[in-house]
Structure 1
Amino acid sequence: MRAYLAHVELPNPILAAAGCAGTGRELSAFADVTRFGALTTRSITMAPRAGRPTPRMAETPSGMLNAVGLQGPGVEAFLARELPWLAERGARTVVSIGGGSVAEYTALARRLADAPGVTAVEINLSCPNVEDRGRVFARDGGAAAEVVASVRAAMRYDVPVVAKLAPDVADVVAIARACVDGGADALALINTPIGMSIDVDTMRPALAAGTGGLSGPAIRPLAVRCVWQVHAALPGVPLIGMGGVTSGRDALELVLAGACAVAVGTILFHDPYACPRILRELEELLHERGFDRLADAVGLAHRPAHRNDLEESPL
């Protein structure tokens, strides 16, 4: 069940997704965070942020909308309190970072470069670029590549840099290729697409911000499609698949599409035991299908069907 992010070995492929596991303390009452493949932090910013006005979360059919706005205490408080707590317990920590400019991402990477306990850095590219009329970095290959290159140059060589991509773009493969060319060691697919819900009783948007990121089972087919397309185009690049994973079957679907690791997010809000359960289910499914190693299943759905399989098919 070992997985690899570039040269970094993880004991298993199940990660907690950014923004869904808090600082790890919240989940530690239900599951041993050191048994996760890794725990991804909420997106850290340079300065403290209060986030967006409430309401900023709303349920939808098979999903959830959120417009939290990267609420957090800022990088200095993270380095002083949150990262040491995770490091003391031996958790593998992927630090998600978010910024409004290339300079802000670079500054964050420099603050993290020598911090003990950082397993990898995940670049949240779904942030508005204040220097380009608020255009989201993830929707512009050139801007995304510039951020990735700046973070890669600022980080230690032994800390993988992961670019997290959005699905609501014209060509996710082009953005993925630009990020890899910029120096990304791995890619995370997918971040939340933008959605909206209106409360028909109040006749107002369900979120104070109007729109928000859609997560949960409703987006899993989008995630599978993006992972499939990027793995087909860039088969040598490690991919973290995420989006609506609630079971080992969901995780296996992303693995077969090309993901070498799978992040679990929204379900943690109502099932904090989900990560160890999904890992157990995934391992059982692999065993039932005759796999000795997780790596043997990665991208298997891309391979041509065996001739005997075709002959035995009822179709």
Structure 2
Amino acid sequence: MKPDMTVRFAGVELANPIIAASGTFGYGIEFEEIVGLEAIGAFVTKGLSLEPMAGNQAPRIVQTAAGMLNAIGLQNIGVVEFIEKKLPQLTRYPKAKCIVNVFGNKVTDYVQVIERLNDAPGIVAYELNVSCPNVHEGGMTFGADAGALEYLVARAKAASKRPLIVKLSPNVTSVAQMARIAALAGADAISLVNTFLGMAIDAETRQPTIRNVTGGLSGPAIKPIALRMVYETAKAVSVPILGMGGIVTAEDAVEFLLAGATAVQAGTASYADPRAVERLVTGLTSWCRGHSVERVSSLTGGLTIPWQG
């Protein structure tokens, strides 16, 4: 018997809990010949800003021992071109769930992007990016300041006609506290974690290997820390959580669900295997069948600690 793989996340029903992460899946349509867009739970677009952004100068990606360091800098085509050129192509896949990642340098930028997207078809939710470590304005500037985060989320929620997911930075003292602030300000869900700020140096040239000097670390190296943060946040808020950070296998996804996530995002894995998210759907379904799990949603928060009373 096939397990029930559907999950309900911030009022949106997903066919399964596997979501392609922002910045690793283009605008969705670029993967139509590689991944079944209707086979995965959802996908999150590249971060969209009010105007097009060129991003940072190369080199801006480097492989590390157990992950990837990137400083792309939120390169994107801008919200207008997305609405005019990308969204119409997605109508070929009416069951695909598109979540738009929204970014701005100022609060008004975020609000204006959301307002322009509100009447565009085919979008199920917004993911508010307050956590990118690779830009000089916006991004982590909001995610690391409690007051700025509260104000931004409140303004964005007031402007939004769709569920609002807030993507938090792990580069803070307490991500659980920032999640509480976002939830109280109106966030319908929390997305975590984004990349960890790091750097790499070429010992031969004695220079940074990334032009931006620092970048965001993702991949298997961050999974144990990301799991801990999801677990702590799940105990701190009542809104659903999107967990991510080093997910490569079905077992990785299960661990995040057990830690408290309702759904998960896979990102860096798509660089090594462009079909990674679809493979994860198949793998998670097989895992549930093999472990007699009738509903994948029952795994959420299912962690047991027998030595605690």
TM-score band by shorter chain is over 0.9
Q: Find out whether 1:101 has 2:119 as its counterpart.
A: no
Equivalent in the alignment of 1:263: 265
1:215 matched to 2:218? The reply is yes
Unaligned runs of 5+ in 1: 311-315
- Give the one of 95, 98, 117 matched to 2:122: 117
Secondary structure of the residue that 1:300 maps to in structure 2?
Answer: coil
Q: Give the gaps of 5 or more residues in structure 2.
A: none
User: Partner residue of 1:296?
Assistant: 298
1:87 partnered with 2:99: no
**Counterpart residue number, 2:81:** 77
1:155 maps onto 2:160 in alignment: yes
- Contact 1:92/1:118 (8 A) holds in 2: yes
2:146 to 141, 147, 151: 141
Asked whether the 8 Å contact 2:131–2:140 carries over to 1, the reply is no
- Which of the residues 170, 184, 188 maps onto 1:185? 188
Residues 65-102 of structure 1: CA deviation (Å, up to 9, x unaligned):
11111111111101111122223322210000111111
Instruction: Tell me the CA shift for residue 135 of structure 1.
Output: 6.5
Asked if the contact 2:241/2:262 (under 8 Å) is kept, the reply is yes
Q: After alignment, is 44-53 or 86-95 more displaced?
A: 86-95
The C-alpha deviation readout for 1:117-176, integer Å capped at 9, x for no partner, is: 111000000256859xx96111112211211111111111xx210000111210111100
Using structure 1 for the length normalisation, give the TM-score: 0.92
CA shift, 1:17, in A, is 0.1
Of 64, 69, 72, which residue of structure 2 is paired with 1:60? 64
**How far apart in 2 are the matches of 1:61 and 1:163?**
30
**Residue 14 (structure 1) aligns with:** 18
Q: Aligned Cα RMSD in Å?
A: 1.9
Q: Tell me which amino acid in the other structure corresponds to 1:100.
A: N
SS of aligned partner of 1:110: helix
Residues 76 and 193 from structure 1, CA distance in 2 versus in 1: closer, same or farther, beyond 3 angstroms? same
Give percent identity, aligned residues only.
40
Distance 2:140 2:287 in 1: 42
1:254 is matched with which residue? 256
Q: Distance in 1 between the 2:229 and 2:88 partners?
A: 34
Residues in 2 aligned to 1:150 and 1:247: alpha-carbon distance in whole angstroms = 37
Q: Distance in 1 between matches of 2:143 and 2:235?
A: 20
What is the rounded CA distance, in whole Å, between the counterparts of 2:65 and 2:137 in structure 1? 33
Q: Is the 8 A contact 2:38 2:93 kept in 1?
A: yes
| Kept in 2: contact 1:5–1:185 (CA 8 A) | no
Counterparts of 1:104 and 1:10, CA distance in 2:
29
Match of residue 29 from structure 2: 25
Q: Secondary structure at the match of 2:121?
A: coil
Q: Which has the higher helix share?
A: 1
Secondary structure of the corresponding residue to residue 38 of structure 2: helix
SS at match of 1:70: coil
